[in-house]
Structure 1
């Protein structure tokens, strides 16, 4: 931890610690070169000591420094000072989105959409610059004081992904994509998955997957089914729910392919929450490789060939084995095969105590290791085959026939001449052999892929004679493959004609004529006809407000089912803005006349005023000369003159003896009066003995019709000789209370 006042690189003065995370600490600092405040993220010592990590971190942070967008926290500098590695970033005053969600419990749909659009806009720019965040989560999103959204921690996530995946290195596993959880390749769609989980938390207040440890949560991302957000809160628009579910598809190709596509749908839903614009592509196989059957898997594990009979121990001793059958020892990667018998073992292997989270996360992708090993073996086998073919060619043998090539070079002129007569036949014979021995390729499955992706798969597999045709299809989205002329797995030559059928979208339907209908009626008619409705608004002097003026495409035309029809709805007659007249000081009649001439409506009220004569306007709600719509209502206040107020006073309290000796001096004479302005009112007067005290004056009559609401008491107490003995009594308990009549 850095101390306040410390200077990094003779430039950045540390002011205070403002946050801490798994890999770093964040400080507020001042840059003395540019005289501005910045945020400095300092790597913790356990990461600073890792040379590989630091190198990767510096490269990625420098790449992130090239990103400039209002929704991305700008990176200004990357540096090192005495083993302290840091990045200098824009200082954003605010809180994390995680804290914001916790404060509110959950966010309203419109607010969640607005935040999601801003996050996606930041990702869009990053992805266009070939930068993948890899750790999108609410903790890495800042909600600034002005309501803006900023994505932070670009670069540090990529550096962390190059190390062992641990809770500290990759942050919370609750937002990780399935491919990241497996340790596989991640791209832009991984960020989109994490953003989908973040949106889920925004609208529900919690993440979709919880578990006893990180491994359990990671497994849920790989194979668990999340509960629909609307099952928790039915007020969430269906369209927003569909966006979240599309973002969080297990298969990356079924998610939004780009942040731009996600933004487009979010903006559509923002403009019209009832719109149905989200389409999830059909399931695409995770690999074109033909899957092994359970028998083939069993044969591999038992170390035998496919066609070899399974022998009991009684029939074949352990040391006996057919000479021509290779013995394949059990592989340490056997548990990677996803057959039915091993599913429970695979899950059990991943269920470990929390203390081993880091090690367990390393084991989440042993399949990647297997793929590398199998690929290496395949390369070696291919090289061996090529070498064998080359040797056989040099030796004059045909590898597949086992016979020596009889077309040796002739040794005599006669032999040469005799072979000339048969050259044509020899060529034909050679062509036949070549054709018969031509290698075949198993057909890949391209159904469900987008056209460009399908073409890429066919090229990759080696096919050269493929064509695309299109047709309408109500079930398959436009541009995606419906079918292929050659079934998956069928062995065909590379130049075999292959026809791939691509969807043109849904069948065309006739657009209803909704002109003259109300907005609600038109929307219902178009929706029931299978179209999506959007709105535009215009003023119209002849069409009533909220009724359809026009539509596009035009009525009675044929359009694809599900396409968009825009209806133009009337706002009614266009209203002009008019200036508000000055009403202050005018009589009520004059004010009404001025407002009427301006096309406005008056709404007067009354109030007392000591300054404005009764019947004149004291004030108006909207200032004079301000522009308002014609027909607007203007409030103004008319004076009723000065307010006349009268009060009533009531007396309470008692006079108590504070030391007067009645036995020695005798009875006293008491007079209590109350003065208000110029008037004095007698409240009590009479003789009083010792038994009269305390002397209660609460029974005195109240006084009404007073113009003031304050006054003073006067108390005079004398003895039998006329001497003033008031000081021997306590009169502080007397009080007067005024009420307005």
Structure 2
């Protein structure tokens, strides 16, 4: 677990968590070598279990690190330590474009075109270096406190969409900005980024997203089929030029959008100078574009919906297809008739005395094969059995002879038949409680195919196998699928930090334990307000959500800070008395009575000086031989002259 103060890679000291995403957590840290603040994006534990994903994570991050542009968040470092995979980026003080839109409601033309031009410039640079963002949205645009616009997460969205690990809490926010070809699962290129930028611009000028529905799938369908609402219907103050740029960028067909981010940037610059001119060239959209094939089962019903809506538009074509199909069927039947007749004639022609036709029985059950051979009068030996990957159990794998063969008169053909025993089977290794990568290697080396499922477990550590199906030591066919269930560790249960400040130390610890939190370091310090033994502050803010088991540090009061005072006692011995028992008591404001000096003294010991410490006001009582001689008042808050 990442904790405040820990050092990553002997260089980056964690200061605080500043953000959480579907695949990573972001921390503010300090580079101890360059003495500067940085942002560290740390991959979530569940993603670290997939070696292929981690490999793509590094490759894409390193590729994105090659980008150097004033409108792109700089990536300084990529690495891993103790299975913690991280990306180090420049730390930006500011807010996301999404937050900026929420604050202002909608942006004016000037600000919209300025921000859009910065994003388009960043995309132009990335596309020139063959990097597609794939997740342009207001949440990934940072506006710094000094007004700079920065695009974040280049390359990261790409690997996230290709992950092979299923995570239950993956966010679906990006679907509101996704291009139609992405929603269909089709090829994604630089024009997909242009579409997402257009949708982002729509939100900037109107203050709302163009497509909203009850589910992500419904939103995706709207991207595919619904026309974009006219921006000026939502905000009449938008210039005509800006509206045309948004409409062109969000065309359904990629080829009808801007050819490149550079072309879009040119129009944005022109629109700033000529906002009322109609200079943007928009091609007419054709509704009868063909539906692309889906590539994932998750969007199967999107494809079905696309096909259903496309039916009326293809009615004429369907009639032609039906007619063509009938004609093709007639021709095919004719061809099959002549071919079948030729085969029949060949198989039924009179066979010479030394020729015999042996039918093919491969692929038949052994019972059907014997029945056919008996019918033809062909003998066969007792069948032999062997494992086969091609034929199911009890099906004929091979035969010793087939087709027309020549034999001597008076002799007969005897076939040898090999029958399948099914696929080869063996004992399944028991891989429970092993690290998942080691378990998968063992199963693959044993000839099995492996399927991995992830789930939480209270006992089995992260990354180890909880159980397997079939169970270990069972018999299973080679190449069959063995499913392993890998632990994601304990389910993350979040609790809100309780308010234990001004509670006693003992009571505060008891409350933390009731919430499932652990007590870390306890620091004791003076405090002029919080009484001794009470909690001054905690390392977690009240109300913050943390996981159960999180360590909370405490600061406990030792009471008010103390000051030193000097008590000087002159000779108290009466004439003729050579010595006596001198006692000095310090009575504090809280009632504590402390004996601060006791000794048998003579006249030569005076003056007696006693140093005392305390806070606030106190009373000094001086006794000689158990008789009170006098009382004084001390004020520890007074500064000595």
TM-score of Structure 1 vs Structure 2, range by shorter chain: 0.3 to 0.5
TM-score by length of 2: 0.46
The TM-score with structure 1 as length reference comes to 0.40
> Radius of gyration: which is bigger?
1
